[in-house]
Amino acid sequence: MMEKKIGWIGTGVMGKSMCSHLLDAGYSISVYNRTKSKADELVENGAIWCPNPKEVAKKSDMIFTIVGFPKDVREVYLGENGILKGAQKGAIIIDMTTSEPSLAQEIYEQAKIKGITSVDAPVSGGDVGAKQGTLAIMAGGDKEAYDKILPFFQLMGKNIAYMGKAGAGQHTKMSNQILIASTMIGVVESLLYAYKAGNDLEEVINVIGKGAAGCWSINNLGPRIVKNNFDPGFFIKHFIKDMGIALKEAKAMKLALPGLALAYQFYISATALDYENLGTQGLYKVLAKMNGISI
């Protein structure tokens, strides 16, 4: 086993696979998840279960987190049983949740007081990228810390970049989400149009996915739509959270994003239909419902 002791908090759709890559590489890992059963497989494979984030931090030199919402990030880091209550001086903490840039900056400052280094490093690539170790990782914080973490990032991703000071990783992820938000609407509108016209959806994806309209969403989530697979690689509800953060940040910068605002309303309609726990390709079901089409 390697000397560096790793802590991992958050073993959901993406976190479990990301943690597995570090475990497979031979690192000693202490793990916590709010729902313990979601960490059972990691524990069976050698990870050490801890009862809360504070205990994970006590046992670790480097602590990674990927949880759901900013409120979860705040609790995991700054709560009574949070990471900053247990982490030792010299530890490095890395939040890979898509969260608020301002919160990333707050955690960075609070950690610095304790002699702990904080990096925000949200990811993109969904469950497929997490399983295959091909995620995009965008990091903000001290460059020296990023350089130390890079070998670990390379076990989880292929497109890895240092973006600047604390919060810069989160701002980059907001740019990513703004682009994907409207793109995903284009994907489901395109495929529902093809369905209504009587086209073979697989053939449509094969053709347009290789041309100017080609993108990750059509080529990876389009086939899931064809198979009526709406399981989450990335939850609609989490995308709603991300768009809300982006709109809030844009407002603070006095920046108008009308396309994102329109897309946000469409995603909200998924919640009205109780589809928020589907993957983002579930927007296809939302659009079909709006048009009275049974799928």
Q: How far apart are CA 270 and CA 238, in angstroms?
A: 12
Task: Specify the CATH number for 5-166; select among 1.10.10.10, 3.90.1200.10, 2.40.50.140, 3.40.50.720.
Answer: 3.40.50.720
Residue 173 falls in the annotated catalytic set = yes
Query: What is the pTM assigned to this prediction?
Result: 0.93
In the predicted model, is pLDDT for residue 79 greater than 50? yes
The catalytic position among 16, 54, 131, 173 is 173
What sign results for the dihedral spanned by CA atoms 60, 64, 66, 71? Answer: positive
CATH topology of domain 171-290: N-(1-d-carboxylethyl)-l-norvaline Dehydrogenase; domain 2 (1.10.1040)
Domain extents in the chain: 5-166, 171-290
Read off the pLDDT of residues 283-294 as tens digits, 9 standing for 90 and up. Answer: 999 999 999 999
Give the residue carrying structure tokens 């900053």.
Answer: 84
Token pair 């907001």 is found at: 174
- What does the pLDDT read at residue 1? 42
**What is the per-residue pLDDT across 88-143, written as a single tens digit (0 to 9) for each?**
999 999 999 999 999 999 999 999 999 999 999 999 998 999 999 999 999 999 99
